[in-house]
């Protein structure tokens, strides 16, 4: 009589002979069925994705504001060590000014993102008060309609508020800023000229003396990409200061937004120590203006929110975004989102409605870029591998940053996280 | 974790994920189905039906336990359904409606296996269905008695008893095969 264990082994090991032709044909049938159901399924599965996306309330212009603020105010989020007596002198002079006004021109060549409603050429006035906040009045021409658009934005850190008035449309929005962003803004005194501090902390060169509008100026220039806090690609910042007063006269920033797009931002016509009052920074909203999308919230800039964003992108595209800088991120995701929405709503919406919907849908993706930006600003040396790591690479490092001298935080391909030592990281990245 | 990712990708229409799931589990599932049915072509059809159901549910497929366990349970349920339908059409016992493990079966219907396992499948085929189910699902499908009990709608004790009886019968049959 055979032993029970032997019987168990016999049954366990008993194999059948598989007919490879039957197996191959059966698999082909399954793949065909998958392709067939993919066509039928897209409309069915999309709501589950959109249910997640639509939880976040926002609007097209707020979407733009996120990018604009990330790009423009991303610049100030820089460390403050001082290594150069010359630039430090400029900084000392600027710091003495409690309030100032300057003009700003933004020229964008190439597409920023699908549905970007700003003109390719924007000009405006910025008023900054270290006590009360920041006010921006911008005029732009919509390149599609050639209509003029004007917009006033107020950032009021004490009230944690971003208010935007769209005059032609007679609409306004109020967005609550989160504590993290406000803390960062307060730390920087809402001052875009923090880029001077940034320049002090990166490699820069002193330029030969020059002349601007009859004023003798000294120049400083940097091409160190860390100056833009990971918000852009390559960048060149040139600062010209009055040789006599040591106050800035002109700042020019030339940066790549994405592969096809460059942006050139110029700050000029500075007026220093202008008298301002708190009321200058309180938005006056005419009675006939309609509040749109109230109770909006600024996207989170946390690790958790970034992971959620990555999850959403992976869910949508089956891969992670190639870059984590906010503008490149938006340039990559927005056309895909747009196509998806268009496919889901065939013939139901105008192009503008589709773009607005896309702007709403893309909201949960912002935290990826914003969180990455904070890591760069905080000098945590983030490295992002979205170009090579896919969601099924469970133990591949997707994003990592430094948390202390010999410790790193890692987000893996499966979006799990871990704190590792330098040695462990080296092994993981090997 | 890999299975969760494969399901996640399948939910997003990945043919690669489908191929990987298929390659990973199809043969084992056919083996289990063949053990339960003692009929190769029906076993292949049942497994194909299970995969087709999986593919058609892509996009909304949620698998909380392990994928192999899920697929094995699907195969077992499908065979249950098949037997129930046959039973309803011909009110006879489950064992009566199964093809007997004899040479009278059409060659393409027999379980295709190497010679050394031929007697094993023949012996399994002689077991009452409930015993056969426990033995095959536990030994070949690596399912726990608790899971099989849930599937059979019985207590764990009954399931374990069926396993014991089934194993004893197999032991008896296979030993006499050898002794002959």
Domain segments of chain B as ranges: 1-90, 106-180
Interface size A-B, in CB pairs within 8 Å, comes to: 119
Q: CA B41 to CA A16: how far, in whole Å?
A: 12
- Where would I find the beta strands (DSSP E) of A34-132? 99-109, 121-129
Q: How long, in residues, is chain B?
A: 180
pLDDT per residue over A123-171, tens digit each? 889 888 878 888 888 887 766 666 777 888 888 878 888 888 888 878 8
Q: CA B112 to CA B110: how far, in whole Å?
A: 6
Taking 3-state DSSP, the helix, strand and coil percentages for chain B, each rounded to the nearest 5, stand at 75, 0, 25
CB contact under 8 A, B18 and A1: no
**DSSP assignment, residue A133?**
E
Query: B79 pLDDT exceeds 70?
Result: yes
CB B163 within 8 A of CB B131: yes
At B86, list the tokens. Answer: 């046959």
Instruction: Name the band, by pLDDT with cuts 50, 70 and 90, for residue B38.
Output: confident
Say which residues have a Cβ less than 8 Å from residue A415's Cβ, sequence separation at least 6: A307, A310, A311, A314, A391, A398
CB A232 within 8 A of CB A108: no
Closest A-chain CA to B30? A16
The answer to whether ipTM exceeds 0.90 is: no
Interface residue B53 vs chain A (CB under 8 A)? no
Distance of CA A306 to the CA centre of its chain: 11
Closest CA to A263 of A418, A430, A108, A100: A108
CB B174 within 8 A of CB A1: no
Interface residue B8 vs chain A (CB under 8 A)? yes
- Among A139-153, A219-233, A301-315, B115-129, which stretch is predicted with the lowest mean pLDDT? A219-233
CB contact under 8 A, A14 and B35: yes
At A323, list the tokens. Answer: 């870059």
Query: A364 pLDDT exceeds 80?
Result: yes
What's chain A's Rg over C-alpha atoms?
26
More confidently predicted of A199 and A218? A218
pLDDT per residue over A61-111, tens digit each? 444 455 555 444 443 333 333 334 366 677 777 777 788 888 888 777 766
The percent of residues above 70 in pLDDT, for chain A, comes to: 73
Lookup result for tokens 């909380």: B64
More confidently predicted of A408 and A80? A408
CB contact under 8 A, A4 and B171: yes
The percent of residues above 70 in pLDDT, for chain B, comes to: 72
Phi and psi at residue A194, to the nearest 5°: -60, -15
Quote the pLDDT of residue A223.
Answer: 84
CB contact under 8 A, B170 and A7: yes
Quote the pLDDT of residue B179.
Answer: 47
Give the dihedral of Cα atoms A292, A293, A294, A296; nearest 10 deg: -140
Mean pLDDT of chain B: 79
Quote the pLDDT of residue A68.
Answer: 52
CB A73 within 8 A of CB A134: no
Query: A46 pLDDT exceeds 70?
Result: no
- Return the number of other C-beta atoms located less than 10 Å from residue B91's C-beta: 9
Quote the pLDDT of residue B136.
Answer: 92
Cα of B2 to nearest chain A Cα, Å: 7
CB contact under 8 A, B113 and A38: no
Of A19, A30, A414, the CB nearest to B22: A30
Ordered alpha helix ranges (H), B12-114: 15-37, 40-56, 67-89, 94-97
What are the distances in angstroms from CA A300 to CA A66, A271, A303, A367, A383? 11, 35, 9, 6, 20
More confidently predicted of B171 and A259? B171
Phi and psi at residue A50, to the nearest 5°: -70, -25
CB A369 within 8 A of CB A70: yes
Mean pLDDT of chain A: 76
- Where would I find the beta strands (DSSP E) of A230-279? 235-242, 248-258, 261-272
pLDDT per residue over A16-37, tens digit each? 888 888 888 889 888 888 887 7
More confidently predicted of A26 and A60? A26
- Could you tell me the end-to-end alpha-carbon distance of chain A, in angstroms, rounded to an integer? 56
Closest CA to A76 of A199, A219, A247, A224: A199
Closest CA to A307 of A408, A210, A399, A174: A399
CB contact under 8 A, A16 and B139: no
CB contact under 8 A, A44 and B51: no
Q: CA A178 to CA A188: how far, in whole Å?
A: 16
Quote the pLDDT of residue A407.
Answer: 94
Quote the pLDDT of residue A120.
Answer: 64
Residues in chain B with CB shorter than 8 Å from the CB of A29 are 48, 52
Closest B-chain CA to A38? B13
Residues in chain A with CB shorter than 8 Å from the CB of B8 are 391
CATH of domain A87-281: 2.50.20.20
Instruction: Name the band, by pLDDT with cuts 50, 70 and 90, for residue A195.
Output: low
**DSSP assignment, residue A401?**
E
Give the dihedral of Cα atoms B68, B74, B79, B84; nearest 10 deg: 160
Quote the pLDDT of residue A54.
Answer: 26
Quote the pLDDT of residue B134.
Answer: 93
Quote the pLDDT of residue A109.
Answer: 73
Residues in chain A with CB shorter than 8 Å from the CB of B13 are 34, 38, 41
Residues in chain A with CB shorter than 8 Å from the CB of B60 are 44-45, 48
Instruction: Name the band, by pLDDT with cuts 50, 70 and 90, for residue B2.
Output: low
**Correct CATH for B106-180 of 3.40.50.300, 3.40.50.620, 1.10.10.10, 1.10.3470.10:** 1.10.10.10
Of A19, A22, A31, the CB nearest to B15: A31
Phi and psi at residue A152, to the nearest 5°: -115, 130
Instruction: Name the band, by pLDDT with cuts 50, 70 and 90, for residue A1.
Output: low
CB contact under 8 A, B13 and A7: no
Cα of B103 to nearest chain A Cα, Å: 17
CB contact under 8 A, B9 and A392: yes
Question: The domain at B1-90 falls in which architecture?
Answer: Orthogonal Bundle (1.10)
The H or E element that residue A199 is part of is helix A194-201
Q: Give mean pLDDT, residues A312-340.
A: 84
Quote the pLDDT of residue A408.
Answer: 95
Of B10, B12, B31, the CB nearest to A16: B31
Residues 83-142, chain B, touching A (beta carbon < 8 A)? 111-114, 117, 120-121, 124, 135-136, 139-140
Query: A222 pLDDT exceeds 90?
Result: no
The percent of residues above 90 in pLDDT, for chain B, comes to: 27
Closest CA to A34 of B63, B21, B32, B146: B21
Q: Give mean pLDDT, residues B47-72.
A: 82
Query: B162 pLDDT exceeds 90?
Result: yes
Domain segments of chain A as ranges: 3-78, 87-281, 300-429
Q: CA B73 to CA B133: how far, in whole Å?
A: 11
Q: CA B96 to CA B78: how far, in whole Å?
A: 18
Interface residue B55 vs chain A (CB under 8 A)? yes
Q: How long, in residues, is chain A?
A: 430
Query: A371 pLDDT exceeds 80?
Result: yes
Q: CA A247 to CA A355: how far, in whole Å?
A: 42
CA angle, A83 then A89 then A90, to 5°: 105
What is the reported pTM? Answer: 0.47
**B1-90 matches B106-180 in fold:** no
Quote the pLDDT of residue A319.
Answer: 92
Query: A216 pLDDT exceeds 80?
Result: yes
Residues from A contacting B (CB-CB < 8 Å) are: 1-2, 4, 7-8, 10-19, 22-23, 26-27, 29-31, 33-35, 37-38, 41, 44-45, 48, 315, 318, 391-392, 394, 414
Closest B-chain CA to A42? B59
Residues in chain B with CB shorter than 8 Å from the CB of A30 are 18, 22, 48, 51-52, 55
CB contact under 8 A, A15 and B59: no
Query: A304 pLDDT exceeds 90?
Result: yes
At A340, list the tokens. Answer: 């998806």
Of A2, A33, A318, the CB nearest to B171: A2
CB A253 within 8 A of CB A235: yes
- C-beta contacts of A379-384 below 8 A and 24+ residues apart: A379/A79, A382/A230, A382/A324, A384/A323, A384/A324
Lookup result for tokens 């469970």: A394
- The residues with which A119 forms a beta bridge, in sequence order, are none
Q: CA A419 to CA A402: how far, in whole Å?
A: 10
- Which of B2, B3, B5 would best serve as a mutation to test chain A binding (most A beta carbons within 10 A)? B5
Q: CA A300 to CA A261: how far, in whole Å?
A: 26
Closest CA to A340 of A323, A306, A315: A315
Interface residue B158 vs chain A (CB under 8 A)? no
Interface residue B1 vs chain A (CB under 8 A)? yes
Instruction: Name the band, by pLDDT with cuts 50, 70 and 90, for residue B67.
Output: confident
Residues in chain A with CB shorter than 8 Å from the CB of B58 are 34, 37-38, 41
Query: A198 pLDDT exceeds 90?
Result: no
């Amino acid at each position: 009589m055979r032993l029970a264990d032997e019987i168990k082994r016999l049954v366990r090991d008993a194999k059948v002979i598989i007919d490879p032709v039957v197996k191959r044909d059966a698999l082909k049938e399954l793949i065909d069925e998958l392709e067939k159901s993919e066509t039928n399924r897209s409309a069915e599965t999309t709501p589950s994705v959109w249910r997640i996306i639509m939880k976040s309330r926002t609007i097209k212009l707020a979407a733009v504001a996120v990018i604009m603020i990330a790009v423009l105010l991303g610049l100030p989020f820089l460390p403050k060590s001082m290594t150069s007596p010359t630039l430090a002198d400029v900084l000392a002079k600027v710091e003495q000014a409690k309030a100032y006004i300057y003009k700003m021109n933004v020229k964008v060549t190439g597409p920023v993102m699908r549905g970007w409603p700003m003109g390719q050429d924007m000009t405006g006035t910025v008023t900054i008060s270290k006590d009360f906040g920041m006010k921006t009045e911008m005029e732009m021409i919509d390149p599609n309609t050639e209509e003029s658009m004007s917009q006033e934005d107020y950032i009021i850190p004490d009230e944690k508020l971003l208010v935007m008035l769209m005059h032609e449309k007679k609409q306004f929005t109020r967005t609550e800023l989160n504590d993290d962003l406000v803390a960062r803004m307060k730390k920087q005194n809402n001052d875009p000229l923090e880029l001077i501090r940034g320049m002090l902390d990166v490699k820069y060169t002193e330029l030969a003396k020059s002349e601007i509008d009859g004023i003798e100026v000294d120049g400083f220039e940097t091409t160190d990409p860390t100056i833009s806090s990971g918000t852009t690609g390559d960048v060149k910042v040139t600062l010209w200061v009055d040789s006599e007063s040591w106050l800035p006269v002109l700042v020019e920033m030339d940066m790549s937004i994405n592969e096809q797009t460059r942006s050139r931002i110029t700050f000029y016509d500075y007026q220093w120590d202008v008298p301002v009052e708190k009321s200058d920074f309180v938005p006056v909203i005419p009675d006939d203006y309609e509040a749109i999308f109230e109770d909006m919230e600024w996207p989170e800039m946390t690790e958790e929110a970034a992971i959620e964003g990555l999850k959403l992108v992976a869910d949508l595209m089956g891969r992670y975004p190639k870059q984590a800088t906010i503008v490149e991120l938006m340039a990559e995701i927005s056309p895909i989102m747009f196509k998806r929405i268009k496919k889901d709503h065939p013939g139901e919406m105008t192009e503008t409605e589709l773009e607005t919907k896309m702007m709403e849908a893309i909201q949960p993706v912002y935290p990826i870029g914003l969180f990455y930006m904070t890591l760069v600003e905080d000098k945590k040396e983030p490295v992002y591998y979205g170009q090579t790591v896919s969601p099924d690479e469970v133990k591949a490092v997707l994003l990592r940053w430094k948390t202390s001298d010999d410790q790193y935080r890692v987000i893996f391909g499966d979006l799990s996280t871990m704190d590792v030592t330098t040695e462990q990281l080296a092994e993981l990245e090997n | 974790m890999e299975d969760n990712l494969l399901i996640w990708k399948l939910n997003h229409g990945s043919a690669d994920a489908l191929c990987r799931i298929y390659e990973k589990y199809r043969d084992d599932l056919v083996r289990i189905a063949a053990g339960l049915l003692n009929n190769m072509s029906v076993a292949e059809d049942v497994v194909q039906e299970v995969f087709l159901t999986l593919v058609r549910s892509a996009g909304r497929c949620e698998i909380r336990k392990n994928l192999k366990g899920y697929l094995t349970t699907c195969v077992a349920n499908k065979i249950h359904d098949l037997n129930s339908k046959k039973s309803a059409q011909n009110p006879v016992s489950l064992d009566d409606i199964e093809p007997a493990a004899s040479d009278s079966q059409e060659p393409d219907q027999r379980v295709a296996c190497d010679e050394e396992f031929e007697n094993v499948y023949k012996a399994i085929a002689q077991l009452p269905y409930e015993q056969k189910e426990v033995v095959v699902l536990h030994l070949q499908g690596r399912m726990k008695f608790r899971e099989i009990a849930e599937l059979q709608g019985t207590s764990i004790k009954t399931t374990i008893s069926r396993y014991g009886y089934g194993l004893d019968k197999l032991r008896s049959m296979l030993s006499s095969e050898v002794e002959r």
